[in-house]
């Protein structure tokens, strides 16, 4: 047990874990690892620039009983369509003043546990989520005329999971995690540039450690809504609501 | 877990960013400038934005909408007043909007209170919509659970018959809102995550103050 914990903290292993090899995992033995494998293969296979429009609609007959396979399918379609920023999503939280707050963040991973993104825990969204963890994500893929809304609560990922991702980032982004006191007022751009130079100096020749205030959140969904745009506003809207271990599927009026 | 390879998702940060120099004192002017540049740079859905509201249970709630107009008073959009967002706005009259123009690596966040447009303004816009969209405003019981696609198709047929050969009037439950901003944030993506973030806030004296935020 001790040895494996030690191994996990080894940076080379962390990197290897992030860029996992081409060995096809056993789907039934480890569905999470299989999903990761599947997506990496999908990303590698992409080479042709293509624009795709909405493929038919969304019907109860064809939609899976679970929301995750449908999300995976739509996400794969978004990747195939070579959209700019297919993993960009809007994250909305409840502001400290009671107003809704939103911004674009990039999805860094997902599985049947939820949707993962990373940030500064002391940023505005970090503080808002610490106070109220209810949050919503919205993916909008315009060329596909599709939208997915995911509602749930955001929980912090483990320190290990944050380390794994932090060490896969470009060095410049790692340094900026030290520089930026995210969402705080700063006197000007020069101030940030000077701080960058300072931290570059401090970590020169060394691995940049993950700042303790920087890490991931996982949005654990209890509700999905899949929206497929159709002519004349006759859009398809299918909602999945979690009821215990099951997902209830219902159609909403467009 | 699914990891997304950033190498396959390139973005271009070779821009000059956003500086305090030459920044217009009024955020509407800057929005207009960026909006025009977005129209030039991308053709699809420049007017699309995310609207976040507060749900009746106090949770954030959001969806994509299309902007139908803006002036120095605010930003206008239309919907069914009995839809989920309509119900949410009626209860808590605040909202936040987010425009994300990926090709320009720009983002604008706008927060403020939300008010109903006058029936006259709503009539004016409704009259401009395609006929089938007008009919669908009658047919849709927006955001409510329905038995199936057929439920809606039957209702479309019913209202098509009802309004056959005459103009479709605006349903009383359908109309516009205006988000009247008290805060703007302009975000411009830059290399190494050193993005530019400039925030305008409306003071009680009616003046906009500008602050730079850490990226």
* Residue B8 counted as domain residue: no
SS3 letters across chain B: CCCCCHHHCCCCCCCCCCCCCCCCCCHHHHHHHHHHHHHHHCCCCCCEEEEEEECCCCCEEEEEEECCEECCCCEEEEEECCCHHHHHHHHCCEEEEEEEEHHHCEEEEEEEEEEECCHHHHHHHHHHCCHHHHHHHHHCCCCCEECCHHHHHHHHHHHHHHCCCCCCCCCCCEEEEEEEEEEEEEEECCHHHCCEEEEEEECCCCCEEEEEECC
What pTM value is reported for the model?
A: 0.86
pLDDT attached to residue B7: 35
∠ Cα A138 A140 A143 (to 5°): 170
Q: What is the pLDDT of residues B174-198, one digit of tens each?
A: 999 999 999 999 999 998 889 999 9
User: In chain B, how many domains are there?
Assistant: 1
Cβ count within 10 A of residue B153: 12
Q: How many A×B Cβ pairs under 8 Å? A: 211
* Residue B5 counted as domain residue: no
Between B24 and B42, residue with greater pLDDT = B24
The domains found in chain A, sorted by start residue, are 65-157+222-254 (2.30.110.10)
Q: Does A99 touch chain B (CB under 8 A)?
A: yes
Q: What is the pLDDT of residues A100-151, one digit of tens each?
A: 999 999 999 888 899 999 999 999 999 999 999 999 999 999 888 899 999 9
* Residue B155 counted as domain residue: no
pLDDT attached to residue A5: 45
Helix (H) or strand (E) holding A227: strand A214-228
Residue-averaged pLDDT of chain A:
84
pLDDT attached to residue B6: 37
Band (A166; pLDDT cuts 50, 70, 90): very high
Contacts of A234 in chain B (CB under 8 A): 136, 152-153, 156
Q: Does B22 touch chain A (CB under 8 A)?
A: no
CATH code at position B189: 2.30.110.10
Annotated active-site residue A233? The verdict is: yes
Residues A118 and A124: their CA atoms lie apart, in Å, by 13
* Residue B57 counted as domain residue: yes
Band (A233; pLDDT cuts 50, 70, 90): confident
Q: Does B106 touch chain A (CB under 8 A)?
A: no
Name the residue range of residue B207's domain.
18-129+171-212
* Residue B103 counted as domain residue: yes
Residue-averaged pLDDT of chain B:
91
Whether residue A49 is predicted with pLDDT greater than 60 in this model: the reply is: no
Q: What is the pLDDT of residues B39-62, one digit of tens each?
A: 888 767 788 999 999 999 999 999
* Residue B162 counted as domain residue: no
Residues A103 and B106: their CA atoms lie apart, in Å, by 11
* Residue B151 counted as domain residue: no
* Residue B63 counted as domain residue: yes
Beta-bridge mates of residue A184: none
Prediction ipTM score: 0.91
């Amino acid at each position: 047990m001790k040895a494996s914990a030690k191994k996990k903290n080894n940076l080379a292993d962390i990197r290897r874990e992030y860029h996992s090899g081409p060995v096809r995992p056993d789907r039934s033995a480890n569905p999470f690892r299989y999903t990761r494998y599947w997506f990496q293969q999908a990303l590698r296979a992409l080479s042709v620039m293509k624009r795709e429009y909405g493929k038919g609609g969304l019907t109860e007959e064809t939609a899976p009983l679970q929301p995750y396979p449908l999300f995976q399918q739509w996400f794969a379609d978004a990747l195939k369509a070579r959209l700019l920023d297919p993993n960009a999503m809007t994250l909305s939280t409840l502001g400290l003043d009671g107003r809704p707050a939103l911004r674009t963040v990039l999805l860094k991973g997902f599985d049947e546990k939820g949707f993962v993104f990373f940030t500064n825990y002391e940023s505005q969204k970090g503080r808002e989520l610490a106070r109220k963890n209810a949050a919503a994500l919205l993916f909008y893929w315009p060329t596909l005329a599709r939208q997915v809304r995911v509602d749930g609560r955001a929980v912090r990922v483990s320190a290990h999971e944050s380390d794994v991702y932090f060490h896969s980032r470009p060095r410049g982004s790692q340094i900026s995690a030290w520089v930026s006191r995210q969402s705080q007022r700063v006197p000007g751009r020069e101030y940030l540039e000077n701080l960058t130079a300072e931290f570059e100096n401090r970590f020169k020749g060394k691995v940049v450690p993950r700042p303790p205030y920087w890490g991931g959140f996982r949005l654990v969904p209890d509700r999905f809504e899949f929206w497929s745009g159709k002519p004349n506003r006759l859009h398809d809207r299918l909602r999945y609501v979690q009821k215990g271990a099951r997902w209830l599927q219902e159609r909403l009026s467009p | 877990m699914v990891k997304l390879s950033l190498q396959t998702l390139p973005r271009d940060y070779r821009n000059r960013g956003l500086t305090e120099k030459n920044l217009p004192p009024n955020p509407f002017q800057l929005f207009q400038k960026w909006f025009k540049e977005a129209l030039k740079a991308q053709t699809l859905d420049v007017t699309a934005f995310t609207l976040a509201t507060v749900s009746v249970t106090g949770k954030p709630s959001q969806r994509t909408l299309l902007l139908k107009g803006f002036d120095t008073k605010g930003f206008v959009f239309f919907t069914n007043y009995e839809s989920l967002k309509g119900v949410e706005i009626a209860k808590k009259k605040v909202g936040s909007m987010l425009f994300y123009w990926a090709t320009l690596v720009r983002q604008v966040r706008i927060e403020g209170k939300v008010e109903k447009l006058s029936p006259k303004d709503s009539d004016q816009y409704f009259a401009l919509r395609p006929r089938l969209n007008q009919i669908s405003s009658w047919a849709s019981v927006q955001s409510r659970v329905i038995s199936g696609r057929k439920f809606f198709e039957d209702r479309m047929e019913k209202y098509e018959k009802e309004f056959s050969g005459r103009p479709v009037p605006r349903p009383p439950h359908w109309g516009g809102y205006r988000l009247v901003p008290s805060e703007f944030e302009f975000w411009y993506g830059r290399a190494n995550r050193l993005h530019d973030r400039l925030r305008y806030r409306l003071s009680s004296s009616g003046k906009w103050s500008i602050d730079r935020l850490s990226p």
